[in-house]
Amino acid sequence: MTELGGHCDSRFAALQDALKRNIDSGADLGASIAVTLDGEPVVDMWGGWSDAGRTTEWGRDTITSVFSCTKTVTALAALVLVDRGLLDVYAPVARYWPEFAARGKERVEVRHLLSHTSGVPGWDQPISSEDLYDVEESTKRLAAQAPWWEPGTASGYHAQSYGHLIGELIRRIDGRMLGRFVAEEITGPLGADFHIGLNPSEFGRVSDVVPPPSPIDRTASDTDSVSFRALNGPTPDATDSWSREFRTSENGAGSGQGNARSLARIHSVVACGGEVDGVRLLSPDTTALIFEEQSNGVDLVLEKQIRFGIGYGLPTPVSVPFVPEGRICFWGGWGGSEIVIDTERRMTMSYVMNRMGSALMGSSRTAQYVSAAFDALE
């Protein structure tokens, strides 16, 4: 049986056994799982392989692409500015970014960007992955286009545009690009090994993801639908994450590189009311904004029911049954990575892996691990 690195509190033995079984069976290639309680790491374990050829073990400091888990760190960065009184979630985006008011977006509020209800979930065609790496120019394109639906009336997951939109707000207010802001204001003070815009000197410890067994199937979709346009503009390709351009890009929607420990550490701040180990990023009032429901219905892009608060998803048992109800927020990355934050238990749980599942909203392994972590505390 697989030997795992790190440590695991005895309460979480079932979680540890599940990770061992999945690595032994090959369901997981390499992975890390972390749980914090009151800001303290009670689970920090890893195992398996960092490469498909099984030549290099997944180690303590292995990191990989977490895709849309990046959005949770981007949202936290915006909330830091809210807490400092520099950003108002109920103000028009155009107050901070005047060009964004173009073509009917003058009434789009900051909270609409953070909750995927702005009507700008992607780019008008044509657009390529290479275009997205030029953050300045591709952000200008978002500002210039019309919304795809009446802003604020529905959610449509901002799968690829979220980081450009929130990152530009941060730049307009603070002057720093998103990656630098996160490094200096969040990950640096917390000692969290998470990067939006990875230095090439760190590439040697990055595990390339193994693409999902089947691509996202959009063949049955209406090509004029919001879902098709958002998820095919550009069409995601997991192998893009192997490239230098992807890893170094400051794309707050999906280019973040990290592991379970770093995601759990960052979000232990949220779980603990805004402060952990003397590092305060949010007040309780700002933390409470996360749980103000902004939408609750069938998402126009995901085509599943989902509840969004300000910056995070909220429990939606019909679509994400493994996330329990309560004062909990969460989000996941393409292929299965996940971060779940429980402010009542003052708990975070994170899973980061390199073998991707096919679904956008977690995998069977994600569900297994999250359920095991919460079961341990019942």
Residue 324, pLDDT score? 97
CA distance 197 to 184: 13
Residue 222, pLDDT score? 80
Q: With 0-12 CB in 10 A as exposed, 13-18 as middle and 19+ as buried, what is 204?
A: exposed
Domain boundaries, the chain: 5-375
Coil/strand/helix, residue 94: helix
CA distance 160 to 79: 20
CATH number of 5-375: 3.40.710.10
CA atoms within 13 A on the CB side of 336: 29
| pLDDT per residue rounded down to tens, the chain (378 residues) | 789 999 999 999 999 999 999 999 999 999 999 999 999 999 999 999 999 999 999 999 999 999 999 999 999 999 999 999 999 999 999 999 999 999 999 999 999 999 999 999 999 999 999 999 999 999 999 999 999 999 999 999 999 999 999 999 999 999 999 999 999 999 999 999 999 999 999 999 999 999 998 766 555 568 889 999 999 989 889 999 999 999 999 999 999 999 999 999 999 999 999 999 999 999 999 999 999 999 999 999 999 999 999 999 999 999 999 999 999 999 999 999 999 999 999 999 999 999 999 888 889 999 999 999 999 998
Residue 312, pLDDT score? 98
Residue 216, pLDDT score? 65
Which residues share a beta bridge with 276? 279
Residue 233, pLDDT score? 87
Cβ atoms < 10 Å from Cβ of 108: 22
Residue 286, pLDDT score? 98
CA atoms within 13 A on the CB side of 362: 21
Report H helices in the chain.
Answer: 13-25, 70-83, 110-114, 129-133, 135-144, 162-174, 178-182, 188-190, 226-231, 244-248, 260-271, 284-289, 364-375
Residue 214, pLDDT score? 75
